[in-house]
DNA sequence: AATATAACTATACATTTGTATAGCATATAG
DNA sequence: CTATATGCTATACAAATGTATAGTTATATT
């Protein structure tokens, strides 16, 4: 279903409020801006806008975020080429770019976070991503993942057959294809120079751990 | 009066929260992040930070703003490009995602723009990008650019030897490696199934046109 | 030595805010 | 023509949130 003119007007007011104040409006703020006498009118619009994918929110105060789709609507007619983002709250996930994954875990311990990278949701697929890593080495070149590429990872402790995963082997993060075997698991490179790593699950103990599935690859040329 | 280490830690937590959530934290959010058992500990810090000019706030929920002074403090230790965008300071560009490049041009006509994609500057390298395209076919698989990948392109009408470019051949956009030859140019695929396209520049007329250089590749898995 | 600032704990209260209930009128889709 | 979505008013309540009171300990500062 398409966005209505009224919903678009509300969306624009939300956007403008964020631009001006640096924080999102409440239902009552929107009601006042739109001239509604009840916050319910605003929250009804929020529900519609969220259903149509233009905003996201939770039940906390001032938690509305605009999505990529919203910015697409709001910026129409702007320019042929790219334009800078104004102050706003695009639905970006800020993924922590993990440096060294330290022994002892958790893998996402605060100390390991070098920086945060703003990543548009459309870049991480349906399930999103939880963190990013920079690839070291060319062991996955057969899957077109190269040294220096940035990968985005959905955190998970298990994997399906054939998925490309990030695993922790003796506290070192590696990218490999995951396969189940009779006795355990196999982590396979897509570069013939690197032999597959076979792990008998009984022997492995805590030395091998799946930490997530690769959902996106990004490379600067 | 100078900012204390503890105040700086609180400031960083506020910053990180905004980065991650796109909306500012409450006193209780900060208390939890810092390990305080009372929101008063957090509001005391707010008062100090505001007095010293690092934040501004009002009495509404989630209304903390970071000042430029705060960003000055927080940026220390971050590289120019990797510094994460915050609300109001997003280092993002909205790239038009070009759908079908229509006959008759211009290649970036407004009608061809399907949507805008927010792309962090760190994703497009030092020179940025002007538009994005989705790759059709596997002619560049040898360069690890696959069917369905999204490429980001810096608009240019010329290219250097060996660069990966987007060219318009008879109104169809193709991705190829660019080489100069004696008589004209050569557009080379990195897939042996596709022969190189040699163009004698005198014959070509307007049928071949370089429209830009590929600066980044993105793939969802 | 006295005083102010910093850095908190623990509890309480008032306001802000999300959200629900109940209803009405109009437009749109099947 | 009927059902559904849209677009509101009016009121109320519970949860989230800002902020105050009262106190403790440590560290500067004068």
Q: What is the CATH number of the domain that holds B58?
A: 1.10.10.10
Confidence of residue A39 (pLDDT cuts 50, 70, 90): very high
Q: Closest nucleotide to B35's CA, by C1' atom?
A: C8
Looking at residue B91, what is its pLDDT?
56
Mean pLDDT of the A117-145 span: 84
Q: Do B55 and B154 fall into the same domain?
A: no
Q: Which of A169-178, B88-97, B143-152, B183-192 has the highest mean pLDDT?
A: B143-152
| B108 in the same domain as B59 | no
Please tell me whether residues A100 and A197 are part of one structural domain: yes
Please give the pLDDT value at position B3. Answer: 87
The bridge status of strand B150-155 relative to strand B131-134 is antiparallel
Domain boundary among the residues B40, B75, B110 is at B75
Rounded to whole angstroms, the Cα distance separating A192 from B200 reads 41
Select from B22, B45, B75 the last residue of a domain. B75
For residue range B119-161, what is the model confidence (pLDDT) as tens digits?
877 788 777 888 888 888 898 999 999 998 999 998 888 889 9
In three state form, how does the secondary structure of B28-77 look?
HHHHHHHCCCCHHHHHHHHHHHHHCCCEECCCCCCCCEECHHHHHHHHCC
The pairing of strands A184-188 and A172-180 is antiparallel
Tokens of B150: 């999204």
What is the DSSP code string of A66-93?
Answer: E-HHHHHHHTTTS-SS-EE--S--B-EE
User: Is A199 inside any structural domain?
Assistant: yes
Sign of CA dihedral A189, A165, A94, A42: positive
For residue B82, being part of any structural domain is answered with no
Query: Within this chain, do residues B46 and B98 fall inside the same structural domain, yes or no?
Result: no
Contacts of A125 in chain B (CB under 8 A): 220-221
Contacts of A78 in chain B (CB under 8 A): 94
Residues B55 and B156 in one domain: no
Instruction: Based on the fold, state whether residues B194 and B125 are members of the same structural domain.
Output: yes
Whose tokens are 């008063």? That residue is B40
Residue linked to tokens 């009224």: A6
> Does one domain contain both A62 and A105?
no
What is the distance between the alpha carbons of residues A153 and A166, in angstroms, rounded to a whole number? 8
Q: Is residue A42 part of a domain?
A: yes
User: Are residues B19 and B96 both part of a single domain?
Assistant: no
Task: Report yes or no on B85 lying in a domain.
Answer: no
Are A66 and A133 in the same domain? no
Same domain as A129, residue A212? yes
According to the model, what pLDDT value does residue B69 have? Answer: 76
Listed in sequence order, the residues at least 6 apart from B155 whose beta carbon sits closer than 8 Å to its beta carbon are A81, B108, B130, B131, B211, B212
> Which residue from B80, B93, B187 is spatially nearest to B140, judged by alpha carbons?
B187
Strand D bases, protein C-beta under 7 A:
5-12, 16-22
In a domain? residue A79: no
CATH at residue B110: 2.10.109.10
Q: What residue has token string 């002074």?
A: B69
The total domain count for chain B is 2
Q: What is the pLDDT of residue B131?
A: 84
Q: Is residue B83 part of a domain?
A: no
Quick one: A133 and A169 in the same domain?
yes
pLDDT of res. A83: 44
A81 is a domain residue: no
Domain of residue B22 covers 5-75
Give pLDDT, residue B105: 42
115-134 of B, contacting A, C-beta below 8 A: 115-120, 122-125, 128-131
Q: What is the pLDDT of residues B56-96, one digit of tens each?
A: 888 899 999 887 677 767 755 432 223 333 433 345 667 77
- Please give the C-alpha separations between residue A126 and each of A121, A123, A154, A215, in angstroms, as whole numbers: 8, 9, 11, 9
Residue A86 domain-assigned (yes or no): no
Q: How confident is the model at residue A206 (pLDDT cuts 50, 70, 90)?
A: low
Q: A198 and A125 in one domain?
A: yes
The pLDDT mean for chain A works out to 79
d(CA B190, CA A24): 48
Task: Label residue A116 by pLDDT band (50, 70, 90).
Answer: low
Instruction: Work out the pLDDT band at A143, boundaries 50, 70, 90.
Output: very high
Protein CA at B4 to nucleotide C1' at D27, angstroms:
12
Tokens read off for B90: 């997003």
Give the pLDDT band (50/70/90) at residue B179: very high
Say whether residue A84 is in contact with chain B using an 8 A CB cutoff: yes
Q: Which residues contact A82 (CB under 8 A, 6 or more apart)?
A: B93, B94, B95, B96, B119, B128, B129, B130, B131
User: In chain B, what percentage of residues exceed pLDDT 70?
Assistant: 77
């Amino acid at each position: 279903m398409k966005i209505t003119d009224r919903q678009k007007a509300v969306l624009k007011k939300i956007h403008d409020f964020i631009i001006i104040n640096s924080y999102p409006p409440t239902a009552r703020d929107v009601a006042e801006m739109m001239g509604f006498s009840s916050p319910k009118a605003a929250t009804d619009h929020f529900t519609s806008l969220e259903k149509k994918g233009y905003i996201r929110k939770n039940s906390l105060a001032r938690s509305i975020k605009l999505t990529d789709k919203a910015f697409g609507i709001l910026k129409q007619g702007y320019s042929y080429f790219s334009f800078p983002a104004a102050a706003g709250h695009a639905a970006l996930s800020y993924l922590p770019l993990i440096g060294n994954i330290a022994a002892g875990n958790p893998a996402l311990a605060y100390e390991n976070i070098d920086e945060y990278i703003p990543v548009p949701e459309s870049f991480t697929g349906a399930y999103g991503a939880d963190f990013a890593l920079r690839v070291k080495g060319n062991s996955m070149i057969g899957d077109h993942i190269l040294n220096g590429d940035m990968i985005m990872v959905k955190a998970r402790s298990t994997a399906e057959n054939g998925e490309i995963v990030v695993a922790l082997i003796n506290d070192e993060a590696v990218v490999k294809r995951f396969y189940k075997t009779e006795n355990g698991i196999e982590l396979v490179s897509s570069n013939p120079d690197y032999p597959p790593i076979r792990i008998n699950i009984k022997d492995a103990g805590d030395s091998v751990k799946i930490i997530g599935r690769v959902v996106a690859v990004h490379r600067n040329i």
